Amino acid sequence: MEITGFDNVIFTAVDPRPALLSAIVCLSKRWHGILLTLILDDPPRNRQCTNLSLEELPESRAQIYAVRDEAMDKFTDEHAYALMDDGEGPVSFMYSKRGPLIFELTGVSELSKGTAELSARNASDFYDRRLSNGIRPPEPYEASICSPILFEVTIFTPERPREDSFSMWVLKQVQNCLLMDYTQRS
């Protein structure tokens, strides 16, 4: 079988579990017969279900594999993470708590408007003010991330999001949920 699918990695300072559960709720509204597999590695075990709660997700790491229905599940047996004819395919949501760590970044470009709709916090106004006040360095630039704890979130999609609307939709749901979860806590 050909290896298919694409890693989309996000680092966040907030516990990603509530946001991932929210993203799965969004996906379940699109996929009314969603089937989930919770994959844990300490101790190794899998649990199939149609929904999950925060209490079921360990703080340190887990993977949640999602398919729309039995037909998609059978399709993946032969095609792994490929898109089906209807333009949708399986998705995995993985997270792990990491740290302490230091990242050296090159070619950093900040998004001017962000990827989420943060109407409650007027995020676009914040970014526009930063641009007009000259706070942001010229793009692209070099930077570092130094943190005692970060969470690595990987969304494994059938295609590269910039090349596929379904994969982009899934990635945007996770990004929006991560940012909205943060704004609701602060």
Residue 44 counted as domain residue: yes
Section 154-180 average pLDDT: 95
Residue 169 counted as domain residue: yes
Q: Tell me, yes or no, whether 94 and 164 share the same domain.
A: yes
> Is residue 82 scored above 70 in pLDDT?
yes
| Dihedral over Cα of 135, 182, 169, 83: its sign | positive
Separation CA 117–CA 67 (nearest Å)? 26
Residue 153 counted as domain residue: yes
Taking the whole predicted model, whether its pTM rises above 0.85 is answered as no
Separation CA 149–CA 131 (nearest Å)? 29
Q: Compute CA distances 33 → 12, 50, 74, 89, 131, whole Å.
A: 30, 8, 14, 14, 45
Section 74-85 average pLDDT: 94
Domains in the chain: how many in total? 2
Residue 33: which domain range? 6-99+148-185
Q: Tell me, yes or no, whether 89 and 116 share the same domain.
A: no
Residue 1 counted as domain residue: no
pLDDT digits (tens, 9 = 90+) for 103-155: 999 988 776 444 444 443 444 444 454 555 556 666 788 889 999 999 999 99
Q: Tell me, yes or no, whether 49 and 118 share the same domain.
A: no
User: In the prediction, which pLDDT does 174 show?
Assistant: 96
Q: Tell me, yes or no, whether 78 and 112 share the same domain.
A: no
pLDDT digits (tens, 9 = 90+) for 1-48: 566 899 999 999 999 999 999 999 999 999 999 999 999 987 888 999
Q: Tell me, yes or no, whether 86 and 114 share the same domain.
A: no
Cβ–Cβ < 8 Å for 16, 178: yes
Q: Tell me, yes or no, whether 14 and 66 share the same domain.
A: yes
User: In the prediction, which pLDDT does 183 show?
Assistant: 53
Residues 6+ apart with CB under 8 A from 72: 84, 88, 89, 90
Q: Tell me, yes or no, whether 107 and 92 share the same domain.
A: no
Closest CA to 175 of 116, 126, 113: 116
User: In the prediction, which pLDDT does 119 show?
Assistant: 41
Q: Tell me, yes or no, whether 38 and 19 share the same domain.
A: yes
